[in-house]
Amino acid sequence: MQPPRIPLPHFLQLHQWVAHPLRFMEESVQRYGDSFVMQFPNTPPFLFTRDVEMVRQLFTGKPEDLYVGPVNRVLESVVGKNSLLLLDDQEHIRERRMMTPPFHGERMLSYGLSMRESTSRSIDGWTQGKAFTLHEVFQDITLDIILKTVFGLAEGETFEHFHGLFARMLNMGSHNAVLYLSALLPAERMLQLLAVGRDPIQLGPWKANVSRALPWTQLSRLMQEVDAYLYAEITRRRAEGVEKREDVLSLLMQARDEQGQPMSDRELRDEAITLLAAGHETTATTLSWAFHFVLQHPEVEEKLRAELRQVAGTGPLAPEQVNRLEYLDATLKETLRLVPVAPAVGRVLQRPMKVSGWDLPAGMAVMACAYLTHRRPDLWPEPERFNPERFVGKRTSPYEYFPFGGGSRRCLGMAFATYEMRIVFAEVLRRVKLRPATPYTFQVARRGVTLAPRGGVPVIVESRN
C-alpha cells in the first residue's frame, strides 16, 4: 500500500514549499490525509506525516536503517560535510559524543551571565517611543551570545568586525535563491558554484560583473573570509593551548574520541559553523514569535511578570533561578508548538520498510512534520489558540510534541537554546514594557530552514521598569 502523492509538477511543489510552506502543508493534509508525498526536482520523494505512530517508528528505529544526512544535504554548502547534521551511523555517534559536554551541566549554566549581559546591553539602546523590530534585535543578541560563548570572542574592535561579518553571511545564507539552488543542485555542484563565486573573474568580464551581484556569490565570498578567520584562530589556539578557555570551540578542541583522537581542523570548522547557523536564526525567530503571541495576550504577559517578580524580585534574574520560571517555560513551549524550530525533520530509509502500514522503498525520505502534528485537534484541543496552560505541570509525548526533532537525532543544542531563550525573554520582560507598533497577523517569512514572523514583530517601548 502506497501513500498518496501530490500530483503537481515537481518544480511547482518546490516553489510552494519554499514560498508558501505552511499553506502548502495545510492544504495537502486536508486533501490527502495524515501522510502524503512531495517530490522536488532531482531529489528522492519526501513522505510528510503527522501520524503519531509513524513518528514513533522514525524516532525509535535503528540508526543504520534511518539516515538523516541525505535530508540535510541542502545545508552542506554552508556547514560542510563534517557537520553533525550530515553525519550518520558510527560517524554521527563519535561526533555527538565529542560535542555533548559543553551543552549540559555546569558548563552550560556558566554562560548564563554572558547571555543576560548581551541582552541588557541591547535593551540599553532601545529608544522609548520609537518603533523597531524584535526579530532584528534578537538576531543581534543571539549572535552576540554565540560569538562570546561558542567562539570565545571578547568585546572590542575584532568582536564588532566579526559580528558584522557573521551577520552578513548568515543573512545571505538564508536567502531564498540560495535555498532554491541548494535544493535543485547536487551538493557537489553547489560547492562548485560557490567556488566560482570566490573568484568570479574566471568567468570573463561581463559574467563576472553579473556574478558578483548574485546571492550565492556574495555568500561564497563571505564564507571565504569567515573560514580564513576560523582556521587562523584554530591554528593560534593549538599553538597557545586551550586548557584554560571555557568557550565551546576551545572545549571541542580538547575533546577526544574513544581512540584518543581530536577533531581535525576541518571538523572543528564545520561544527563551529553548524553551531553558528543552527543556534542563531532559530533562537532569534522563536523569541520573536513568543513576543508576537504574548503581546496579543495581556493576561499571559501579566502572569509572566508576576512569576518573574516572585522568583527574582525587582533585580535581574540569576542564572540558577531560570528553572523556577515554570510559566515562562510553558509560554516558550506553546510558542514552539505553534511554530516549531523546523517545520519537519526527516529520515531516509536505507532499506525497504513497512512504516505505519505503508510499504516504503529504500531511498524515500520520511518527514516527521512537527508543524502539522502540533496542530492535530485530537491531540491539541483548539490547536490554533495560543494557550501556555497546556504545558503547566504536564508532560507531553515525544511523538506528539517534537519542536527540536527526536530520538538519537534530537537537537544537540536544545538545552542550551531553551536556557538562552528563557534568560533573554525574562530580561526583556524585566527591563521594558512593549506594545505592538502595528496590528499583528500570523504570517511567515522563510529564513532558510526556519519560518520567521513576517514584518519582524514591530514594537514600541512603552515604558522602562
Q: CATH number of the domain that 51 lies in? A: 1.10.630.10
Residue of 49, 5, 30 lying closest to 347 (CA atoms): 49
Query: What's the CA gap between 29 and 85, in Å, rounded?
Result: 28
Spatial distance between the Cα atoms of 142 and 284, rounded to a whole number of angstroms? 6
Closest by CA to 464, choosing from 426, 437, 435, 434, is 434
For residue 224, tell me if it sits in a domain: yes
- In three-state secondary structure terms, 313 is coil
Asked whether residue 355 is domain-assigned, the answer is yes
Residue 35, beta-bridge partner list: 49
5 in any annotated domain: no
Dist CA 328 CA 388 (whole Å): 9
In a domain, 154, yes or no: yes
Q: Which residues pair with 337 in a beta bridge?
A: none
Q: How many CB atoms lie within 10 A of CB 168?
A: 16
Contacts of 103 (CB under 8 A, 6+ apart): 248, 412, 413, 415, 416
Say how far apart CA 29 and CA 37 lie, in whole Å.
Answer: 10
Three cell numbers, residue 305: 511578570
Q: Is 366 helix (H, G, I), strand (E, B) or coil?
A: strand
Q: Is 392 among the domain residues?
A: yes
pLDDT digit string (tens) for the chain, length 465 residues: 889 999 999 999 999 998 899 999 999 999 999 999 999 988 889 999 999 999 999 999 999 999 999 988 888 888 999 999 999 999 999 999 999 988 877 778 889 999 999 999 999 999 999 999 999 999 999 999 999 999 998 877 788 888 898 888 888 777 776 766 766 666 666 556 556 555 554 544 434 444 455 666 788 888 889 999 999 999 999 999 999 899 999 999 999 999 999 999 999 999 999 999 888 899 999 999 999 999 999 999 999 999 999 999 988 999 889 999 999 999 999 999 999 988 999 999 999 999 998 999 999 999 999 999 999 999 999 999 999 999 999 999 999 999 999 999 999 999 999 999 999 999 999 999 999 999 999 999 888 788 999 999 999 999 998
Domain contains 69: yes
- Alpha-carbon distances of 50 from 66, 145, 332, 367, rounded to whole Å: 18, 34, 22, 9
Confirm whether 1 is domain-assigned: no
Dmax over Cα atoms in the chain, in whole Å? 66
Whether residue 58 lies inside any domain: the answer is yes
CA-based R_g, the chain, Å = 22
| Domains contained in the chain, number | 1
* Cell of residue 314, nine digits: 525587582
Q: Note down the domain range covering 453.
A: 10-464
